[in-house]
Amino acid sequence: MRRQDPARAIPTVTAPAVGELGGYVVDETGRIVSVNDCALKLLRLTLEAALGRDHHELLHRDSGGHTGPRALCPVMDAVLSRAACSGESLCFLRGDGLLLPVHWTAIPYPAGNDSGTLVLFHPCPVEVSAEAEGTLPELDRLALLAETTTSLTSTLNEQETVDRLAHLVLPRLADWMIVDLIADGGDIRRTHVVEHQAGRLLRRPELEGPIPAVTAQSPLPLSRALRGSGASLAGPQVYQGEPDSGIAVVQHELFAATGMHSAAIAPIRGPREVLGALTLGRGHNPVPFATRDLSLLEDITRRAGLAISNSRLYQRQRRISETMQRHLLPRLPDVPGVELHASYLPAPDASQVGGDWYDAFPLPDDTTGLVIGDVAGHDLEAAARMAQLRNMLRALAWSEPHPPNAVGQLDQVMARATDLATATLVLGRLAFSPQAGWTWEWTNAGHLPPLLLTHDGRAEYLHTPNSVLLGTGISVARGRDCVHLPPGSTLLLYTDGLIESREHGIDHGLARLRRYAAAAAHHTLGVLCERLIEEVRPSDNDDDVALLSVRVPAVQAPDRPERHPTAR
């Protein structure tokens, strides 16, 4: 015959009237060193049977009569952390074998020459059942945790993570959600105070903002959570009296402003550090938080901590990648009388480093080489290939009497000396002579055509024949062309991230760029490039954008561009 678990057979006694307050003192190890007469009476124990005993093993039971793990016991957590906290939904085992449901409070207390904890308790006026211990039934708890995991891990944006968290816990668990996050430098900021009111979630920005630093000595719940201690319950009474830190002042003001009568506070932990704290509060909901709610709260904060940690790691990588990308891109040289401006916008949803690039450098004949290019990819490999290609092109252009011819040589070198697959670019030479004024001689290897803007708002794309991209293995005589640049005109070199869209063809993007560029041609180069990125770049494009713009001086010269015969 199957034997009955004796712990499950322990009956629960009817609670005596509230007003009888028992108390005992434990030392740092959790052993009872002192106990009052009321506690002995309530627990049906003799003084000899209580002194020297481990209070967790002697007394603490769940509603089924089980002795839980010490690490999950809220009273033991208070003893070990020397924190003032309280709770319910706990039973003490009486000397006659019956369970006594209690409400308890633990307070740091001197025990002789050592530090100890005073545990005060009184019987609960009603019996505690397993169903009453938590706010949600077990299936609902599991469903909430599954939804939390799915929702929070599907974004790498910290702000969005916390916004999603509010929709998950309000009003299912609480009326209020407060999130305090620790920045990389150690500063703490109350980033979210959200209230559920009349079916809507309302931010309370007047309660948000920086909060004081955590002190190592404060035993109060939020300070403990921000140091990484376990979850605990709190109410406005916890923060009454003389504050022990600036955080206590902030918390007192929070409870007063929100009207919360009960709160549960848990640390938000990442894999290696404490990231902040989550507070759930109840004001309109009359049911106070129970001890069993803390385990659910910690499950939620573990998932939130992982999501926030991943988001911060991703953002750090983005910043590092962007810094690397910007260092790989060159500083523009000084060209007397000519304005040069470059803009680079990383891919919004990639690793912020990629193959779009520009270059500008002096040539041996006192002219200036200008390049725009694109190597496939948006990762570190693409950036490395881009740097390799740029350096080779600079060397070839420097040694070539007609720099645009360097593109053909580069194509041959790529096939034999690199692992580069394909790339596109425009290489040109900006030159000035008293007879011809400013001229632009260029060749195009599969890239989008440069755009020439006159000062009066006309726009023309500059096409060249045999515009074959690099790396195809096709032997072709690459065409080059030369155009006169009218006084005050602007030459715009750009990459496909500026115009390509999933919804429209390339011709639509080129027409849009031409129209917007012509309308903004009278602005400074900085404003021109900024407007083109803001107004022309399609919202569904997740590619990098590189822009290189050149404006020649406004001196007397023919109004319209005059093409020179194509040179090969």
User: Which ranges of 269-367 would DSSP assign to H, the alpha helix?
Assistant: 293-328
- Range with the poorest average pLDDT among 121-130, 150-159, 314-323, 532-541: 121-130
pLDDT-derived band at 328 (thresholds 50, 70, 90) equals: low
| Model pLDDT for residues 456-481, shown as the tens digit of each residue | 899 999 998 778 888 877 777 788 89
Q: Which architecture, in CATH terms, is 6-123?
A: 2-Layer Sandwich (3.30)
pLDDT-derived band at 126 (thresholds 50, 70, 90) equals: very low
Matching CATH topology for 6-123 and 138-317?
Answer: yes
Q: What is the CATH number of domain 138-317?
A: 3.30.450.40
**Residues sharing a CB contact under 8 Å with residue 498, sequence separation 6 or more, in sequence order:** 509, 513, 532, 533, 536, 537, 545, 547
Residue type, 545: V
Q: Are 355 and 383 in contact (CB under 8 A)?
A: yes
Q: pTM value?
A: 0.52
Structure tokens at 66: 């089980």
| Model pLDDT for residues 65-102, shown as the tens digit of each residue | 788 888 788 888 888 877 778 887 788 998 878 888 88
- Whether the per-residue pLDDT at 141 is higher than 50: the answer is yes
Chain centroid offset of residue 390 CA: 33
**Residues sharing a CB contact under 8 Å with residue 542, sequence separation 6 or more, in sequence order:** 347, 348, 349, 350
**Residue 253: per-residue pLDDT:** 96
Q: Which architecture, in CATH terms, is 329-551?
A: 4-Layer Sandwich (3.60)
Q: Where are the domains of the chain?
A: 6-123, 138-317, 329-551
